[in-house]
Structure 1
């Protein structure tokens, strides 16, 4: 494991905040220098209803509500399989110990009014749910205790930094960023403070997911994450 401190990404004032009309390039930059094709244009300010509609119609599109815009989540087949593998390990521990709820990539969470995110995997302790049925609503009105982002080809460093900032501002206690190419998990305890874990290490849930321990070799060597033998 490698402890380190990430560089924060400075945010310049947006054209929107200065009252100046934005170009599509300005908007993409504000969202974290993301590819413009991930921004879904609507003739109105996007809402949670638009997020829900895009997830239920055909073709289904997983989108996040960011600054009044719909942003398609960067995710492919590989990221889906990795999320499924991690969920299987996490669910086995969480359910056995009755710790809380585990979310999949299509779990919509409201970090603040008008801002929703879809972590690839999430965990929230029972005690930290705002109401007894918060996890049964179409949009979860809470930030997760643990948010897991699996880095995809369409993600950018600036986008991931912005997401981390939003998660921690909303009350998230840990963020795991998984890099399938490097076969590493970076555990953030704040927006910048982090430790990098490799396949020789054991991923520990700490105080957020008590008792959870996962040898990363076991995760990354999962048959569904590798070429068929």
Structure 2
């Protein structure tokens, strides 16, 4: 079934948008208009959760970065909510006492988007490129249905990776040299055995 893409609302200012209550699913402010993200489905949520856990197992233990799910970032004249935001420790906003601040006024150091079936591919890529133009080091676009990953880096050609091919290590940020991920590993999280193993871990 062909799904109708989410249409933007009327144009408002960024300040007006940020003053509005948060929506579920989250809404983004792009080029003066509001776009609500699609509701995450099972494949999307599984990959998102496993990525955050896997990245933080390395990043937090080494105190170099933290991965956040669905974190709003105000970048230039946009306010977007990537599916996974990775920030280096030194770039995590904190108050004078060292506690986390809620507001992030910068691009992620690593932005990860997981494509939903009714989501515009070009609009998601545009958000990734916008982040790269505002200081982001690395962007991933994961397509759970096609089982492909597009990797974006500043001043470099995108890299296309699909599962089932030679299972090379994916490009990760230079501040996480010990993080090792492959396309097969990511899409294996969607397999029945992976889900069963996850269920067994959560059982008492």
Q: TM-score, normalised by structure 1?
A: 0.70
Q: Does 1:110 align with 2:74?
A: yes
Equivalent in 137, 142, 147 of residue 173 of structure 1: 137
Task: Confirm or deny: 8 A CA contact 1:108 1:140 kept in the other structure.
Answer: yes
Q: Is the 8 A contact 2:5 2:120 kept in 1?
A: no
> Do the aligned partners of 2:25 and 2:38 also contact (CA within 8 Å) in 1?
no
Q: How many positions carry a matched residue from both structures?
A: 184
Separation in structure 1 between the aligned mates of residue 45 and residue 32 of structure 2, nearest angstrom? 26
Q: Identify the residue that residue 7 of structure 1 maps to in structure 2.
A: none
In structure 1, C-alpha distance between the alignment counterparts of 2:27 and 2:124, rounded to whole Å: 15
Structure 1 Cα separation of the partners of residues 39 and 155 of structure 2:
22
Contact 1:205/1:211 (CA < 8 Å) preserved in 2? no
d(CA) in 2 for partners of 1:188, 1:171: 13
Q: Which runs of 5+ in 1 are unaligned?
A: 1-34
User: 2:201 aligns to what?
Assistant: none
1:123 aligns with 2:86: yes
Give the match for residue 187 of structure 2: 220
TM superposition shift of 1:36:
5.6
Shift of 1:212: 0.9
In 2, Cα distance between equivalents of 1:48 and 1:154: 25
2:200 counterpart residue number: none
| Deviation >4 Å, runs of 4+ | none
Cα distance in structure 1, aligned partners of 2:149 and 2:28: 23
> What is the match of residue 11 of structure 1?
none
Equivalent residue for 1:66? 30
Unaligned runs of 5+ in 2: 197-204
* Deviation of the 1:177 alpha carbon: 0.7
SS at match of 2:86: strand
SS where residue 203 of structure 1 aligns? coil
Using the size of structure 2 for normalisation, the TM-score is 0.77
Bigger relative contact order (CA 8 A; separation at least 6):
1
Q: Which residue of 2 aligns with 1:17?
A: none
Structure 1 residue 37 and structure 2 residue 6: aligned?
A: yes
